[in-house]
A and B are shown apart, each in its own frame.
Chain A
Amino acid sequence: MTELAEHTTQHAPPAPPRTGFKRLLGPGWLRAAWMTPLFFGIGFGIVVGLRALAGWDPVLDWLIIVTVGALTAAPLGFLAGIGAFDYWTRYALGRPTQPEDHSSHGARSWSDYFRVNTDHKVIGIQYVVTTIFFFLAGGLMAMIFRAELAKPGMQFLDNQEYNGLISVHASLMIFLFVIPAFAGLANFVIPLMIGAPDMAFPRLNALSYWLLPIAGIMMLSSIAVPGGAFGAGWTGYAPLSVVGTDGNVWFNMGVQWAGASSIMTALNFLVTIITMRAPGMTFWRMPLLVWANFTTSLLVVIATPFIAGSQFFVMFDRLMHTHFFDFHNGGYVLGYQHVFWFYSHPAVYIMMLPGFGIASEVISVMSRKPIFGYRLMALSLIAILILGFSVWAHHMFVSGMAPWLRVPMMITTLMIAVPTGIKVFSWLATTWEGRLNLVTPMLFALGFVSMFVIGGLSGIMLGAVPIDIHTSDTYFVVAHIHYVLLGGSLFTIFAGIYYWFPKMTGRMYNERLGKLHFWLTFIGFNATFFPMHIIGVQGMPRRVSDYSPQFGTWNMVISLASFFLGASFIVFVYNMIVSWARGERAPANPWRSMTLEWQVSSPPPIFNFDEIPQIVGGPYEYGVEGARHAVFNGDRELEEVRAP
């Protein structure tokens, strides 16, 4: 209590609003509107100036100008303009820092979501809404190329458009949807769950959010680049990505911005989880979502620099004529794949472990039972974290890498099935003899378990080298990644959104529409992606704009089902918008959950906890007589707990 009171006295009175031309100088969209072009101009000047000085021809090399000016400097100008760097700039320049008036903390109106905000709850919602926008954009692209693929032969796309669409679709879904959507949900939930007033570094948190739309717009706008979007797939294998269209540079740089965002958030999570847990919350009392984000963040900070490196190598080969992957000059083509997958395989777990965490929360609460085998659940996350770094070359069984690597990588790959299996079986055991409340989050969580099992089993098949040799780069792989990333990640993201919707918005979503959404998505998903297993094994390669007529029937079925699947998200978007605006007021704890975020009001107070919670037990003690996870100072029970 005393700390909080002290904190309150430090609040400075809000600064008077700026008027006249001074409005152009305050942080916000107006300042961003002139600083973005200004920084582009600076980048332009540097490139043109240096080229003129060096006497290089042509002085106006637009690819270089765009890379330096538009893809590097202008985003920095935008961030500076919108106010992401204000505090640090003053600090670095030695000027007196402004007293904190908390005017950039919390949301009082909708416009507060459109500026630099340091409140983790606002940032969490900013993340989730932004990622859903890019999810819908990526989904629409899938609709377009599925329409093209409905029949053999070329319909209305050309090959460049097709390759661009599949590449941008996958990149948006991975870098702008699945990874940041989990980061967004965790942003909202983790500080609340561990009893902290905010993240450890709120300004860094705001910056990591604002990097995200930059990355997304960069990848999207590559479609408008002369020559077409990047078209080497989201994997961007060199040398195709080096010799392909200039749109590849948009991908190379987009990944840098998204990756920087990921790394900053992960560091923030690590420090927050390690240092800001409420008194009494030992590691063995943390909810499994906190465990999941702890392991995920370790994966992110260790692995993400590798993809940043791989994309810089590709870009330097194109722009600076380095020879990383230029085999005419001693470059090593397979080096790209090793570096790329050293990130991108752990990235699979970056896209899955937070989902495991969400599933654990939802299944335990909605089954009204403790999670089965809590410690083994946490330990299996650690096992996946460690094993996850030793399996990357299973993406390269047919790549021509050193043959001896295949069997060791197969063994580690198959071994990952063990901790993953433990998790699946433990979720099942948690439901056993429970009191299952089949509300929308639970439906998505159970849907996740069943679909993820299929994705996991096809993963074991792909892990066995002889099967992989036949199915690598076929639709079987496409089916596998969609069962893992859609049946796994997307379903748990939806479980999380529905589960925490009352906490985020203070309103209940429409349960009937939620259930309808689940069933439409579940059916559409299986009808779209299950047949891909079949055509893959039968011999249809992936990433082809045209295919042998023998696959025509299945492709028509898949395309029709994919439109059905796409339409199912209309129900979701409608439910979210209408419920947020007009839904029934949510109680503090509609799910009767034990974890901390549900012990405060919906939506939570601006600094989360009016008094610091004391953790006295595990987070999942459902059915245990008189068990508490946390008590508050004012609580009478605290006395009872402390009394022998």
Chain B
Amino acid sequence: MRRGAIVRLVTIGLLAGLAAAAVAIFIPWLPAQQSREAGRIDFVFWFVVTICIAVFAIVAAVIVYSVVKFRAPPDDDSDGPPIHGHTGIEITWTAVPAALVTAIAIVSAVALAENGKLKANRLKVDVTAQQFAWHFKYPQYGGFSSDELRLEAGRQVELRLRALDVIHSFWVPEFRQKQDAVPGIETTLPITPTKPGTHTLMCAELCGLGHATMRAPVIVMRKGAFERWARSQQSRSGSAAGASG
């Protein structure tokens, strides 16, 4: 290959890569990062996106260059050079992608393992999904139940999900974590909210006619405020239970 061709090819590749990078940087892709798990997931996301942009830039450069440079003029009936292959190049484009996906697999597996670790002081919440509502129970606080999910900033929560009718899926985009609630089995999902705030829990698995509106508020509170809320709910439900017998 002549030097001029390499320079042009690299230029087109850089332009394509810059364009793709601009799309990645200037469009607000990921929602606000509100959990510790989200940090690790976002790291994997950008790690893979960077590799993807590089691959895309190479492919785009070659296609654009080929189409412009090797386009046959009308009435040109000649054939190209009979190149059947090149062992070295073929080994390279087998080995390099293999190395890249290995790197992606390792980074992903580490992030997955980290995000799955449970802490001893975690909050436990039993989540029940049914068409088309969410219910939350707090077994560490006398088992009171609530229609909104309140969590404590900085303290890991272990969600234990059950479904009463069909499959639903627990998803708060700001937390990144997602887990199906499956009838007949219990699934779990650890989340560590970082900052106080209000989010929306959505059902992410088609569950019937009300699927789009199966939402619930998620409120992350400071430590003290959460404790006060939980204790007051506990005593209220306790007195209600006492009153009922």
Contact = CB atoms under 8 A, between A and B. Distances in A.
B101 A417 contact: yes
Nearest to B76: A435
B233 interface: no
Nearest to A414: B101
A304 B211 CA distance: 30
A243 B130 CA distance: 14
Nearest to B93: A425
A621 B169 CA distance: 54
Interface residues of B, number: 83
B204 A414 contact: no
Nearest to A534: B27
A464 B104 contact: yes
A228 to B, nearest CB: 10
A446 interface: yes
Contacts, number: 253
A341 interface: no
| Chain B facing A: main interface SS | mixed
Interface string B194-238: 000000101111111111110000000000000000000000000
B118 interface: no
Interface in A293-343: 327, 331-334
Given A446-B63, A473-B178, A239 B29 contact: no
A164 B181 CA distance: 23
A156 to B, nearest CB: 15
Interface string A465-495: 1110110111000000000000000000000
A418 B79 contact: no
Nearest to A464: B108
A163 B206 contact: yes
Interface stretch (A210-218, A266-274, A403-411): A403-411
10 contacts: A233-B206, A400-B181, A418-B101, A421-B93, A446-B63, A466-B111, A467-B45, A541-B171, A541-B204, A621-B82
Given A465-B112, A469-B177, 20 more contacts: A239-B165, A244-B208, A333-B182, A333-B185, A369-B79, A372-B83, A373-B86, A398-B179, A414-B104, A418-B97, A449-B59, A460-B51, A461-B48, A472-B204, A537-B30, A538-B29, A542-B206, A545-B211, A546-B212, A623-B79
Interface of B: 27-31, 40-41, 44-45, 48-49, 51-52, 55-56, 59-60, 62-63, 66-67, 70-72, 76-86, 89-90, 93-94, 97-98, 101-102, 104-105, 107-109, 111-112, 115-116, 165-167, 169, 171, 173-174, 176-185, 187, 200, 202-213
Lowest 9 A-B CB distances belong to which pairs? Answer: A327-B184, A539-B173, A623-B79, A544-B212, A369-B80, A414-B101, A435-B72, A400-B187, A623-B82
Interface of A: 159-160, 163, 231-233, 237, 239-240, 243-244, 327, 331-334, 367-370, 372-376, 398-400, 403, 406-407, 410-411, 414-415, 417-418, 421-422, 424-426, 428-429, 431-438, 446, 449-450, 453-454, 457-458, 460-461, 463-467, 469-470, 472-474, 534, 537-539, 541-548, 592, 621-624, 627
